[in-house]
Structure 1
Amino acid sequence: MNLNDAAFVEVFSQFVKSCGRWRNYEPRALVGQWSDLVASCVRGFQGNAAEDYFNGLTARGDLEKVLNAEELAPFPQMNSVRRAVLAADEEFRAILIPDAFPKFPESEWWLRGVVRYAGPQLAEDLRRDYGIAIDVVR
């Protein structure tokens, strides 16, 4: 499927913007942000702080809205979006400590869990701010 189809990009982007996203709102950019975060986490997230990690998770929240959007359902490109998101989800779920943040709804599993390992900064922030111990990778 062509994620660059002008009509699809326009409707997708407008929908995502209406959800409050002000950048990475085109299909390739938003799916790419989620896939890139997952790849970074699989290697051991080396971002600057927990804020970077949690900010990255907003892409998955917006993708959840996209996946459930009635106005996007008619587009055949959504099959490619769904496959890419589900592939990244599978990788991400494999490295999560589930239910680390149980106050989030179960439907927001990416926010409920936390990565099992990360670079020293995220590991320290999680320990200090939330009392969550994860393995450190360098």
Structure 2
Amino acid sequence: MSGSSGEASSVDLEESARRWKKFAGYCRDGYPWEMEDYLVDVTLRSVINEAMRDGSAQFESLPEQVKREILETDSSLLSLFTTEAFPRAPESEWWIRNVPEYASRRFCQEFEEAYNVKITPNSKFDADLDDMFRLVDEGTPPVEVCLKAKNCGWYVATEPALLFRACTLVLSLQRKERRAVWAWAIGDFSDSTLQMKLSES
């Protein structure tokens, strides 16, 4: 995110602010990604913080709406980041010092194994996974599980990467099938094409 001078460009800062806002949405719904993704995401706020603290020209040139959104995002996260994980971090850098009080099961397990910090498993992502697993246990064909999640407006269908992640976590798919699911999730394949591709295997 930083240029060769070590100072983030205004474009990078605006993108960081956008991604920070998206991260907040993930946290409110129960962070669905892996620990490595989370650590990258919280680094976004450190990039922004450095620019804010230094009063850099890059930060000052950000649109006022973007600056407001950063503060609004911070405010929305402060009430969620209640679990202290890294007490040596400065209190002012709460996004590093603390972690959300709840997240997806897999993330919680990874975080506890790595840092011996317990986070409550609770997420919309897991709720959908449970429903998808139930469909599989009932004998629902894999393609129908995917289609139901997407066409019934489930949380996992709010973006292609989440839909792909859910389908690949729930279903035993070969590499070719995974490629087909990704193409379908991003809109390159229609529902009928996915059905054909998965029935070929």
TM-score, normalised by the number of residues in structure 2:
0.53
* Deviation string, structure 1 residues 70-124 (Cα, Å, up to 9, x no partner): 3328946453332111111011111112432101111211100011110111100
Contact 1:34 1:59 in 2 (8 A): yes
1:111 partner letter: I
| Identity among equivalent pairs (%) | 23
Determine if the alignment matches structure 1 residue 115 to structure 2 residue 100.
yes
1:112 partner letter: R
Determine if the alignment matches structure 1 residue 66 to structure 2 residue 48.
no
Distance 2:40 2:93 in 1: 15
When the two chains are superposed, the root-mean-square deviation of aligned CA atoms in Å is 2.6
Gaps spanning 5+ residues in structure 1: where? 1-12
Q: CA deviation at 1:63?
A: 0.5
Q: Which residue of 1 aligns with 2:86?
A: 101
Contact 1:123 1:135 in 2 (8 A): yes
Contact 1:27 1:81 in 2 (8 A): no
Gaps spanning 5+ residues in structure 2: where? 127-201
Q: How many residues align?
A: 122
Determine if the alignment matches structure 1 residue 19 to structure 2 residue 3.
no
2:6 partner letter: C
Q: Which has the bigger relative contact order, CA under 8 A and spacing at least 6?
A: 1
Q: Which has the larger radius of gyration?
A: 2
Determine if the alignment matches structure 1 residue 131 to structure 2 residue 116.
yes
Q: How does 1:33-112 map to 2 (within 5 A)?
A: 33-47=19-33, 49-72=34-57, 75=60, 77=62, 79-112=64-97
2:53 partner letter: N
Q: CA deviation at 1:129?
A: 1.3
